[in-house]
Amino acid sequence: MNDLLIPVLLILLAPLIGGLVYGFERIIKARMQRRIGPPLLQPFYDFLKLADKRKMIVHSAHAFLGIMHFVSLWFALAVLLLGGDLILVIFLHLLSTSLIILAGYSTRSIFSHLGANRTAISILAYEPVLIIIAVSIFMLTGSFDASAAFNWDQPLLYKMPLAFIALLLVLPIKLKKSPFDVAEAHQEVTGGVEIEFSGIFFEAVYTAKWLDYVFCYTLVFLFAGNNILLGIGLMVFTFFYLNALDNSSARVNYKQMLRFSLTVSFSLAFINLLINIFT
């Protein structure tokens, strides 16, 4: 019972935790750009403000897909935090992203279509790396369960350093950070798939981004095994790495993003898998 208490609390509080991480990220970004920046709770102020906005629905299926994007992502995070099957986690995560892509295609907006196209390409960039990492964890622990990684006798980082680097390289794609923020490039596609959402329905898409933060940082924590201090250190390092990269690099196009991921990130993860197999 006690073993389930912390994961359940993290699942229930995931939107709150993700919102705080996003708020702190905005503060760090402002400081790096020599601005004062918003307060820590600004994401929650934005959330409350959106609740008062007029609800404009393109059609019911579009609104439903946005809500289910949030729900399925929360479910994927729950399976991960409860130590479930990593292949199932990846599938649920893919399902969540597919739902928002379908929402983008269901409108007549060219910007929504472009955002959906680029989000689909982003999946091709980071999902193969996540699958290779899951297979590598299976080769080491004998199980696809995340609990096996959390409870392994030594941190996975020691046996999978190249896979960890590969994860760091694809996280900006997943979180839509520069130089890989092609799916939401506001100067080009005006926000992408989320552009046609408004009011409380946009809140679902907006809050799903907070869940993505918790999801990605949990993947980072996997590499620490049962070493909590190392896990916290890896997450703090990843946080500052992502923000430093986001504020110091220019956006690449989607072809360059895909080429980089499949030639560099995927290769690193695959080499690490081969090393684990033959050693």
Q: Which residue has the tokens 């709150």?
A: 16
The pLDDT value given to residue 186: 67
The pLDDT value given to residue 82: 94
The pLDDT value given to residue 189: 61
The pLDDT value given to residue 183: 81
The pLDDT value given to residue 192: 78
The pLDDT value given to residue 92: 95
182 is written with which tokens? 């092609």
Are the CB atoms for 38 and 176 separated by under 8 Å?
no
The pLDDT value given to residue 58: 80
Question: Which residues does the chain have with pLDDT short of 70?
Answer: 1-3, 186-190
